[in-house]
Amino acid sequence: METIKIRIEKIKEFREVEITLPYYSKDLCHYFKVFSPEKAIMITDLSGHYSVDFVNVDLAFGSATETTESSRDEFNMAFESVIKIFCDKLESHE
């Protein structure tokens, strides 16, 4: 077994944005609804992987990938689509 040293760099960048709640954003496979200063709902719609999660608000502003502003209708369509996929999977296992 070999012991090595590695260098890890962490960069924290802070910026302030002014939004009106609820605020909606999206990236390539996620839709976000910011509902408080700390939390957002994240819908993941990636071929074969679907989820609904509560996440830290910074994800809704592109901490992992670049996001753009979205709309309530887009968020609701993504939410309904993922929930339908979950329901269909449950029904197929009954």
Q: How far is CA 43 from CA 4, 6, 28, 60, 82, in A?
A: 39, 35, 11, 11, 8
Q: Is residue 86 part of a domain?
A: yes
In a domain, 79, yes or no: yes
Residue 14 lies in a domain: no
Answer yes or no: are the C-beta atoms of 32 and 67 closer than 8 Å.
yes
Give the global pTM.
0.79
Domain membership of residue 4 (yes or no) is no
Domain encompassing residue 42: 23-92
CB 90, CB 49: distance < 8 Å: no
**pLDDT, tens digit, for every residue of 40-71?**
999 998 888 899 999 999 888 876 678 889 99
Question: Please, which residues have CB within 8 angstroms of residue 11's CB and are 6 or more apart in sequence?
Answer: none
Residue 32 pLDDT > 90: yes
User: Is 27 contained in some domain?
Assistant: yes
- Any domain includes 72: yes
Tell me how many domains the chain contains: 1
Query: Which residues are registered as beta bridge partners of 31?
Result: 26, 43
